Amino acid sequence: MNLRTVSLRRRVAVSVLLVLFLVLVALVISVDRTFEGQSNKDVDVVLRDAETRATGLMMRGVPPRDVVRQLSKRNVHVTVELANGNRFGDEPEEGPFQRKNQVIRGAKFTFYADTEAISQAQVRLRKLLIMLGLGAIVITGVLMIWVVRRALAPLDAMTSLAQAIAAGHRGGRLNPSRTDTELGRTAAAFDGMLDSLEGSEQRTRRFVADAAHELRTPITGVQAVAEALVQAPVDSPDRDQMSFLLVREARRAGRLVDDLLALAQLDAGYEMQRESVDLLGLAEAEVARTRFVAPDFDIAVEGVPVVVVGDGQRLAQVLANLVDNARQATGPGGAVRIRVDVTGFTVSDDGPGVPEGERERIFDRLVRLDDARDRRSGGSGLGLAIARGVVRAHGGELTCEPSGRGAVFRVVLPGGA
């Protein structure tokens, strides 16, 4: 998206002045046409009045010469031409006139109305309207500078706040007094964006710090064991045990790095493979894997064959994370059940369960409900966060459901059949 960054002040001022100019031009033309039309009507009234008076005088037998003399005034001239060719009255020599002819009792009367005064008044009116219009434009332009500056002051406040935050001054907000106006909604959205960005930044910093702390433990263990192994005599009976500890700590660090990489891929919008996945077959494979790792553990699967479109490897990772968490929570004598249905699958156990207030927090990164136990088992606290990220990447949802006993994790996937 390419945002046009023309000066808003200039755009508003020019737009208002252009609209005002067009309105004034239309007003001048309208007033001028109205004045001209009304003036023509007034002249017509004067000519009709002269015609009426001439008709009345002629009807009373007044000689045409006297009629001309009585009707001719400063702004009205009358001439008459008789049937015998005699003419009375003089035509006006110059100036704008409006003329009207009328035959009265065989005599041709011509009435002239002087319109020079009207023309001069119309010219003066036009000049006055033009001067007033230009004055109005100049005054409006001056006022627009102040008005636009005041109207756009909230945008200046947003700019100043954004610059302050870019310079490292966090926590500032616009706090609009009203959110039902254009600027109010913009300011509220701006504050919401800042809250989201600062919250994301804080979570990222906390996550990086926690990840560094988590990595430091196995790396410190690897370093300590490696140094002890180097310093130990070749025939030392503890070399085998130290080698085992070295491999275990290295694997623990490797699993944590793999989990961090998986989360980074999910955050970056990792593109999942799309293939037909048999959820019941996936669950049966996970049961077989668990029984191989822990032959005496009570785990079983039930349900109906369901095929979804998704990344089989990632969905298997989700199922493995949920089963491993359930097995660690219940201990060797516990029981885990996997149930597959047309909407997805459920992993439930008979362990201590998840407190109601923790059912959403456990999906946060590097969160453990039993920190000591998870550290001994090699858990990083990232398994559930990765599982939920994978499920959501498939368009589904992973939740921890209420249960009377144990924990129940529900995976809903779209397009089950």
Q: Same domain, yes or no, for 74 and 190?
A: no
Take residue 348 and report the two structure tokens written for it: 């439930």
Least confident window among 31-35, 36-40, 128-132, 246-250:
246-250
Q: Find the helix or strand (DSSP H, E) in which 215 lies.
A: helix 182-231
Alpha-carbon 222 to chain mean position? 51
Examine the domain organization and report whether 14 and 109 are in the same domain: yes
Q: What are phi and psi of 23, to 5 degrees?
A: -65, -45
- Per-residue confidence (pLDDT) for residue 151, from 0 to 100: 75
Cα distance between residue 326 and residue 230, in whole Å: 39
- Domain contains 367: yes
Mean pLDDT of 272-293: 91
Residues 146 and 13 in one domain: yes
Average pLDDT of the chain, as a whole number: 82
Tell which of 128, 151, 174 closes a domain.
151
- pTM score: 0.51
User: What pLDDT was estimated at residue 211?
Assistant: 67
Amino acid occupying residue 358: E
Task: Give the SS3 label for residue 300.
Answer: strand
Q: Judge if 259 and 297 occupy the same domain.
A: no
3-state class of 71 per DSSP?
helix
The CA dihedral of 386, 391, 397, 403, to the nearest 10 degrees, is -60
pLDDT at 236 over 80: no
Q: Which of 49-58, 253-262, 291-300 has the lowest mean pLDDT?
A: 253-262
Q: Are residues 137 and 239 in the same domain?
A: no
217: domain CATH number is 1.10.287.130
Domain of residue 215: give its range: 182-266
Decide which of 288 and 254 is more confident.
Answer: 288
Residues 104-137: pLDDT tens digits?
888 898 888 888 778 888 889 888 888 988 888 8
Residue where a domain stops, chosen among 220, 243, 266: 266
User: What local confidence, expressed as pLDDT, does residue 376 receive?
Assistant: 41
Same domain, 24 and 88: yes
Segment 96-104 mean pLDDT: 85
pLDDT value at residue 169: 67
H or E stretch covering 393? helix 383-393
What is the residue whose two structure tokens read 């961090």? 260
